[in-house]
Amino acid sequence: MAAVSDTTNLSLVLELMPHGNFQDLIDRFGPLNQIDACFYYCNIVCAIGFIHRHGLVSRDIKPANFLVGHDGYLVMTDLGIAEREGEGGSWLLKGTPQYMAPELIQQGYPVGRAVDWWASGVVLYEMLTQTTVCLATLDSFRTRSRCL
């Protein structure tokens, strides 16, 4: 990764991820067998562990936020709504409804790293079944989501 700038532009140069995002892989080749699901889930666990060791909570763990590298390993992307654990930011209704932990919609309920682990479990379920646990939209999530 590198940053390049001139008088009007600031650009980030990132490693090429030629195989698209993990959601595309699941849609194209899923449901995955147990060996492949285990490999990819271990990638996700390592990524979540890394950001948690650095005090961050993603709050948006989902297949579309992992890119597939040239070697087949996953790379976490899009930490746009990540927050430092324990900071007083707004934790409510940020993320993708199908992957959100139940405590994210309960007013005043303290949340932390567990929301990323919940979402990782939903991703694992999706790898093995090609469907998500909760069939929710943001509007239905505000009232009541339909979970399997």
Q: Is 60 a known active-site residue? A: yes
Q: What is d(CA 139, CA 44) in angstroms, rounded to the nearest whole number? A: 28
83 DSSP β-pair partners: 57
Which residue in 25, 22, 4, 24 sits closest to 14, CA to CA?
Answer: 4
Under DSSP, the state recorded for 133 is: S
Instruction: Confirm if 114 and 58 have CB atoms less than 8 A apart.
Output: no
Per annotation, catalytic residue among 6, 24, 36, 60: 60
Q: What is d(CA 61, CA 44) in angstroms, rounded to the nearest whole number? A: 9
CB neighbours of 6 closer than 8 A, spacing ≥ 6? none
Q: Look up residue 125 and give its two tokens.
A: 């379920």
Residues assigned a catalytic role: 60
